[in-house]
Chains A and B, each alone.
Chain A
Amino acid sequence: MMPLFVEAALMALVGFSAGLLVAYLVALRRRARQE
């Protein structure tokens, strides 16, 4: 089994990546609308 802090770090990373992805998609959509 994985240590607890690795699990937590992994979940934090997943959350962070998801946030980044959402922000990127929003920026992409905004840019496409402007053009």
Chain B
Amino acid sequence: MVELFRAYWPIVLIALAIGLVVGFLLFRPRQRVRLTDSSPVRPHMAPRETALSHEAAVTTQHMIGTESAVPPPGPQDELERLKGIGPKLAAMLKAHGLVRFDQIAGLTDSELERLDPDLGPFRGRLQRDRIVEQAAYLARGDVDGFEERFGKL
């Protein structure tokens, strides 16, 4: 054996190198995905909202006394006309079912307090920009009064 190795060591060396390269390629770490129960649920993996679950959510909201997420029937107002409300905040308000000026004008202080934590980065904006007051003017159609107090529309 030693004699053989001595005679063929260049071949053994080359074969060893080839074996190493092949082995590294074969046993190299691959990306392994393990799905466990604790894997976060991505948006596309979330269970679909059925009509029933939507109804249940609305009922629950009704029971606990929060604003209904279902906008009332009828025309919707352009909430962005209110000073301090941009497209994002308007979308958030619409998500809470607030789509008309008269709805916003009718918000009580306690309702505002309940709504506030859901507004994320716009927290406190409704009070600071006197949105309820603004909405009351626009709900009445008092554009002159609005412009006098809050500036041109």
27 A–B pairs (Cβ distance < 8 Å), ordered by A: A8-B11, A10-B4, A11-B8, A11-B11, A11-B15, A12-B8, A14-B12, A15-B11, A15-B13, A15-B15, A15-B19, A16-B16, A18-B19, A19-B15, A19-B20, A20-B20, A20-B22, A21-B19, A23-B20, A23-B26, A24-B23, A26-B24, A26-B27, A27-B24, A27-B28, A27-B29, A31-B29
- Assess the A19–B11 pair: CB atoms within 8 A: no
Residue of chain A at shortest CB distance from B25: A23
Once the chains bind, are B16 and A30 in contact (CB under 8 Å)?
no
Which residues of chain A are within 8 angstroms of B12 by Cβ–Cβ distance?
Answer: 11-12, 14-15
B interface, CB within 8 angstroms of A: 4-5, 7-8, 11-24, 26-29
CB contacts (< 8 Å) of A15 on chain B: these are: 11-16, 18-19
Chain A interface, >50% SS class: helix
B contact face: mostly helix, strand, loop, or mixed: helix
Assuming A7-B8, A12-B8, A20-B26, what are 10 further A-B pairs, CB within 8 angstroms? A7-B4, A11-B15, A14-B12, A15-B12, A15-B13, A15-B18, A16-B16, A20-B23, A22-B23, A31-B29
A-B interface, 7 closest residue pairs, ranked by CB to CB distance from nearest: A19-B19, A23-B23, A15-B15, A27-B27, A15-B12, A16-B19, A19-B20
User: Please, how many residues of chain A have a CB less than 8 angstroms from a CB on the other chain?
Assistant: 23
- Residues of A contacting B27 with CB < 8 Å? 23-24, 26-28
Instruction: Give the distance to chain B from A30, nearest Cβ to Cβ, in Å.
Output: 7
Q: Chain A interface (Cβ within 8 Å of chain B)?
A: 7-8, 10-24, 26-28, 30-31, 34
Task: Tell whether, in the assembled complex, residue A19 and residue B17 are in contact, meaning their CB atoms are under 8 Å apart.
Answer: yes
Asked whether A22 and B20 contact (CB < 8 A) given A12-B15, A13-B15, A27-B28, the answer is yes
